[in-house]
Amino acid sequence: MSPPLGGRKAFVRTFGCQMNLNDSEHILGVLLEAGAAAADRPEAADIVVVNTCAVRRKSEEKLYSYLGRLARLKKRRPFVLGVAGCVAQVRQAGLLDRRPAIDFVVGPDGYRELPELVLRAAESPVVRTGHSPDWREIGPEATARANPWSAFVPVMEGCDNYCAYCIVPFSRGPEKCRPAGRVLAEVRAAAEAGALEVQLLGQNVDSYRDPGSGLGFAGLLEAVAAVPGPAWVRFITSHPKNFGDDIIRAMAAHPSVCRALHLPLQSGSTAVLARMNRGYTREAYLELVARLRDSLPGLLLSTDVIVGFPGETEDDFEATLGVLREARFAGIFSFRFSPRPLTAAAALPDDVPLEVKRRRLVELQGLQKTIQAELNRSFVGRELTVLATGPSPRGAGRCQGRTEGNLVVNFDAPAGLAGRFVTVRVTGAGPYSLHGAMIPG
Ligand code: SAM
Ligand code: SF4
Ligand code: F3S
């Protein structure tokens, strides 16, 4: 019997976070398993899936403008058009009314059924949304990895925290955890396929509990770190309120666990944190940072910050700048508050004027730039292990890579270097990257 999608070509475009990058590897993997071949652009595809992000209004708008392009393309050259991911789950059938070019809408729990959805959608539009309480297992056999040397491994999905601004609990549904045995099986498979780096993924990895044994995240991390092969193990995202000392000890005990941690702050004001429903205070966050720095010398921290949350005063904003000065993050993702449907904050007056939000964002990013420039300069003269990721956008003949602490390094090296550890002597540093030369070895 010929496979259901034999002879067709599939293209997947991704918006959003690492979770979505990994989901797109599943989406493509499931389609390839059903006999499709991969296309490198929508113009060459019979099936186009857009994997979407709903976290801010801008993320959703990007989708609509991309769909406009695809609708024009579809008039010239027919294909099956699917919308997957967080906007699909939140907007559901409403997307079909908004953009009639769409043939199917599929939420994150429907990816296993994609071959069937594609075939049905060729007849009439299909909507497959909703959350299942069970883990949707899509194993390594149906994961089309973008980079075999850096493997995403999902450990949990969904969120029960309901931060007041955040749409994710609605788009990803309630928290559910992947059985530890399956996580470890995927890590072993990735190691056998040559992964140098494993990235454990989830909206709140530190609230992980194995559904069978009750093993927590610290235990899972230790078990993953014990798998021979991958030299670097990372995880994202951690919630400050769940980050226990057992996880710090697990990190300290295993040199393969990278000395890098993404720890979203959101605001440095305890009053704003309370209104955001974050579950920690400014002091608790800074104490956690101090404990981490004590136990993990050389740790590089990164964070997320929102400016202009409803009711944020100048003093609140100053408190956020104060945490940046004290915590000295190596990187931040910063955003202006954007009211999202279904969230608690959407009912609050969006009372910080746009120009104030803009000014605060510029100020925050300016301060962070200074901190990063100083921090990065401290690496000049050192030799660092770098995972080469491909050509550098900063000029021909140069490569780019990342350090254990997730710093970007541009360096002189033979072209085509990717998926290898190299040693780089750092000769200079700017606020956003280091540069240097590879030491042949
Ligand atoms: N689970 C993670 C956490 O606990 O922080 C990440 C959540 S979200 C996918 C990534 C970041 O987007 C958040 O940390 C937050 O800074 C930002 N974000 C979420 N909702 C937002 C909104 N409505 N407006 C602006 N930024 C938002
Ligand atoms: Fe969103 Fe908060 Fe959950 Fe993170 S912890 S996904 S910010 S609700
Ligand atoms: Fe966006 Fe969904 Fe990730 S809303 S940030 S793609 S979990």
Residue nearest to atom 13 of ligand 1 (CA): 304
Q: What does the pLDDT read at residue 113?
A: 97
d(CA 321, CA 327): 10
Sheet holding 232-236, edge to edge: 150-154, 197-201, 232-236
Tell me what pLDDT residue 102 has.
98
Q: Which residue has the tokens 């994609």?
A: 114
Rounded to whole angstroms, the Cα distance separating 89 from 112 reads 15
pLDDT value for 414: 76
166 Cβ closer than 6 Å to some ligand 3 atom:
no
- β-pair type (80-84, 47-52): parallel
Say yes or no: CB of residue 128 within 6 Å of ligand 2: no
Q: Which atom of ligand 3 is least distant from the CA of 54?
A: 4
- What is the tens place of the pLDDT at every residue in 2-26? 899 999 999 999 999 999 999 999 9
Ligand 2 in contact with 36 (CB < 6 A)?
Answer: no
| Residue 35, Cβ density class (10 Å: 0-12 exposed, 13-18 middle, ≥19 buried) | middle
Superfamily covering domain 9-128: Methylthiotransferase, N-terminal domain (3.40.50.12160)
pLDDT of residue 70: 98
CA 239–ligand 2 middle distance (angstroms)? 8
In whole angstroms, give the CA distance from residue 160 to residue 51.
Answer: 23
The token pair that represents 291 in the structure block: 């404990």
Q: Given this chain, do its domains 141-377 and 383-439 carry the same CATH topology?
A: no
Residue 336 CA to ligand 1 center (angstroms) comes to: 10
| Tokens 């000065």, residue located | 325
Residues 404, 406: Cα–Cα separation, whole Å = 5
pLDDT tens across 411-439, in order? 998 777 899 999 999 999 999 999 999 99
b/e for 115-146, b at 16 or more Cβ within 10 A?
Answer: bebbebbeeeebbbbebeeebbebebebbbbe
Query: Which residues pair with residue 408 across a beta bridge?
Result: 402
Architecture of the domain whose range is 141-377? Alpha-Beta Horseshoe (3.80)
From start to end of 240-298, where are the E strands?
Answer: 260-262
pLDDT at position 426: 98
In whole angstroms, what is the distance from residue 205 CA to residue 221 CA? Answer: 10
Ligand 1 centroid from CA 320, angstroms = 16
Q: What is the pLDDT of residue 175?
A: 97
Residue 398: how many CB atoms within 10 A of its CB?
18
Task: Give the fold, CATH level 3, of 383-439.
Answer: OB fold (Dihydrolipoamide Acetyltransferase, E2P) (2.40.50)
Dmax of the chain from CA atoms? 68
Give per-residue burial for 258-293: e unless 16+ CB within 10 Å, then b: bbbbbbbbbbbbbbbbebbebebbbeebbebbeebe
Domain boundaries, the chain: 9-128, 141-377, 383-439
Spans of the chain, pLDDT less than 70: 1
